[in-house]
Amino acid sequence: MNGARREAAASTFVVVALVLGIVVVWALIPSAAIRSAWVAERAGVYAVTGAGEDVLFRRTLDDLQSSLASDFQGWLGDVRSIRRGPWDPAGFSDWLQGRVVVTWLWVGLIAYRLQVLMGWLLPGMPLTMAAYLDGQFVREIRKYAFVAQSPIRHSLAMRVLWIVLIGFVAWLILPLPMPAVLPPLLILAIAYALWLWVSNLQKRL
């Protein structure tokens, strides 16, 4: 019970620290940093996919324009109205306008990465399903061969899965240029961790 409570407390601490970190970064990061990260990431994706990168980029822009552009234009109008009003302490409206631009670029970067992820999921999903089914077959073979399951490897698989999921979240939201090969490597890691976890499940659950 104490171990479970410690793990829950650690998970809560990680989530709170992540949220606070995102808020601090959002409040301080200049828009040029996210723009340069997007440019660098586009170059990396282009080196891997070629002309297909332009399709991903245009699809991302179209989605943003159709779903969020009007909202952001309204927010920018509200910020400009603050500048024209009598209350604007220490250039608050300029900072707030910069945060609106940062939010737009950050959302666009996340949407672009989701488009890249969707492209890799096409070959990645069959691979993950094959790893899961193979893990099931290995488990059944061990069950009837009276081979003991390894709780150590099962625990290792759970840790690897959590690490990979954290890596996915970091890749998705961090406003830093990420390697273009990171998404397929994360998918491969998930497939391997899933195989390791399923193949070492206890014989009786």
pLDDT at 66 over 70: no
Q: Is the CB of residue 41 less than 8 Å from the CB of residue 180?
A: yes
Say how far apart CA 18 and CA 161 lie, in whole Å: 19
Name the band, by pLDDT with cuts 50, 70 and 90, for residue 108: confident
**pTM of the prediction?**
0.75
pLDDT at 181 over 80: yes
pLDDT at 61 over 80: no
pLDDT at 193 over 80: yes
Q: What angle do CA 101, 166, 27 make, to 5 degrees?
A: 25
Average pLDDT for residues 178-182, to the nearest whole number? 86
160: three-class secondary structure by DSSP: helix
pLDDT at 40 over 70: yes
Q: Is the CB of residue 147 less than 8 Å from the CB of residue 201?
A: no
Centre a 10 Å sphere on the Cβ of residue 97 and count the other Cβ atoms it contains: 19
Burial class (CB in 10 A: 0-12, 13-18, 19+), 193: buried
